[in-house]
């Protein structure tokens, strides 16, 4: 493919470039490390995580609330590396990313968190993404229309020329409504996904 490539692709991060959910793994890791029951950790975590996703709270603010509410005896200095260490890469998807032709513009739209988004941007593999859009920086999270409008603006090409890959049907529906070509992903069916993406890019 050449720079005249007419079709492009954008991705979600969690559940696409990771195996399983980051939230599920991170809350389990906090429970394991602290001895606090995972149900108690998750009850507090999921009650407040939207504040992170839309950038209303910093990660230390979020952790202070969780510490107090769930009774977690862990300082923030221990929590941050544990949190970042909860990322479990989906290696086949990173291989797919690296193999995309140079003429394909590659976007990212992720409901994400302060500190985590900075951590991801420092990953050399993320250099392939054209102006990643993170909810915590945008102030809106998927499946909001504002999220997909921001993705289209970041891509610099019409939504109709962009496939959007996500592991959540609600987000695929919103992408389709915004004019993108939605592709639902599951890591157990990566080879089939690659074939679907190649068919789209070559269409």
Q: Which sign, positive or negative, has the C-alpha torsion 194, 199, 202, 203?
A: negative
Every domain of the chain with CATH number 3.40.50.1000 lies at 8-20+88-201
Report yes or no on whether pTM surpasses 0.85.
Answer: yes
pLDDT of residue 14: 95
Secondary-structure class of domain 8-20+88-201 per CATH: alpha beta
pLDDT of residue 4: 63
* pLDDT tens for each residue of 152-177: 999 999 999 999 999 999 999 999 99
Residues 6+ apart with CB under 8 A from 198: none
CATH number assigned to the domain with residue range 22-84, chosen from the 4 options 1.10.760, 1.25.40, 1.10.10, 1.10.150? 1.10.150
Using 70 as the pLDDT threshold, list the residues of the chain that sit under it: 1-4
Residues 116, 20, 23, 135: what is their CA dihedral angle, to the nearest 10 degrees?
50
Every domain of the chain with CATH number 1.10.150 lies at 22-84
Ranges of beta strands (E only) in the chain are: 8-11, 106-110, 133-134, 162-166, 181-184
DSSP 59: H
């Amino acid at each position: 493919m050449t720079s005249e490539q007419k079709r492009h692709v954008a991705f979600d991060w969690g559940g696409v470039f990771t195996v399983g959910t980051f939230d599920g793994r991170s809350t389990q890791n906090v429970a394991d490390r602290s001895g606090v029951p995972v149900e108690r950790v998750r009850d507090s975590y999921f009650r407040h995580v939207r504040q992170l996703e839309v950038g209303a709270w910093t990660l230390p603010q979020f952790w202070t609330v969780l510490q107090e509410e769930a009774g977690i005896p862990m300082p923030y200095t221990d929590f941050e590396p544990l949190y970042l260490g909860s990322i479990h890469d989906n290696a086949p998807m990173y291989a797919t990313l690296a193999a995309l032709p140079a003429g394909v513009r590659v976007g990212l739209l992720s409901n994400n968190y302060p500190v985590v988004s900075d951590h991801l941007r420092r990953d050399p593999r993320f250099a392939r993404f054209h102006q990643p859009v993170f909810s915590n920086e945008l102030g809106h999270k998927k499946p909001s229309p504002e999220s997909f409008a921001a993705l289209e603006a970041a891509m610099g090409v019409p939504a109709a020329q962009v496939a959007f890959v996500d592991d959540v049907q609600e987000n695929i529906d919103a992408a389709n409504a915004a004019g993108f070509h939605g592709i639902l992903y599951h890591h157990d069916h990566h080879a089939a996904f690659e074939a679907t993406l190649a068919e789209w890019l070559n269409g």
